[in-house]
Amino acid sequence: MRARPPVLPPALLPPLPPVLPLALLLVLLLVGCTACGVGPTAVIGAGEPARGFIEGTRLYFVQDDRLVSVGRPEGPLEAAEAVELLTGGPTSKERERSFDTTLPKNLAVRVTDDGFTLTEGASTPVSRLSRTATGQIVCTIAAATATKRGIEVNDVRVTVPTGGQTRCEDFT
């Protein structure tokens, strides 16, 4: 019969090297982190960028057949001053970026307390002003008014010459 090797009591066992418990802990952490059940996902769109206070003045020009807000460093300006800039059309740099206007040349716009009218000697009657051109004026007035009041652009109602009130979102 063979003799069994002596069994040492736990107190007499040689201590584990200090690296072994650390390695074991690292393996357990790696397994825990990789097996959490969350798989990879694609990029998820978050919608429009955050909006906040915008320095300067916002004018609305046309790009790809839709109204687009364009920042100008002037301002903040009163609505009448913003519309005056708008009727001057896009700058050469804005045109290089494909911004355009549908406003007729030499359009005479008078901004009122709550909207706008075309002045007496205007070469374009109100009825011939396109929907997009009307939107450019409405949105520019709304943006200037909103900046002055500290509210959102779409919270501003603008009275149009054909009667009634409208908001920028009705054109965008």
Instruction: Supply the pLDDT for residue 50.
Output: 47
What pLDDT does residue 153 have? 92
pLDDT (tens digit per residue) in 75-103 = 789 999 999 999 999 999 999 999 999 99
Going by C-alpha positions, the residue among 71, 68, 98 that lies closest to residue 82 is 71
Number of domains in the chain: 1
Q: Is 123 a domain residue?
A: yes
pLDDT at 33: 63
Query: Has residue 73 been placed in a domain?
Result: yes
Task: Using pLDDT thresholds of 50, 70 and 90, give the confidence band for residue 24.
Answer: confident
Helices and strands (H and E) in the chain: how many: 4, 6
Q: How far apart are CA 43 and CA 58, in angstroms?
A: 31
Angle at 113 between CA 117 and CA 75, to 5 degrees: 95
pLDDT tens digits, residue range 125-158?
566 788 999 999 999 999 999 998 899 999 999 9
pLDDT tier at 108, thresholds 50, 70, 90: confident
Whole-angstrom distance, CA of residue 113 vs CA of residue 82 = 14
In a domain, 46, yes or no: no
Please indicate, yes or no, if residue 31 is contained in any of the structural domains.
no
Q: Is residue 9 part of a domain?
A: no
- Mean pLDDT (the chain, rounded): 80
- Asked if the structure places residue 127 within a domain, the reply is yes
* pTM for this predicted structure: 0.66
Residue-range definition of the domain harbouring residue 82: 57-170
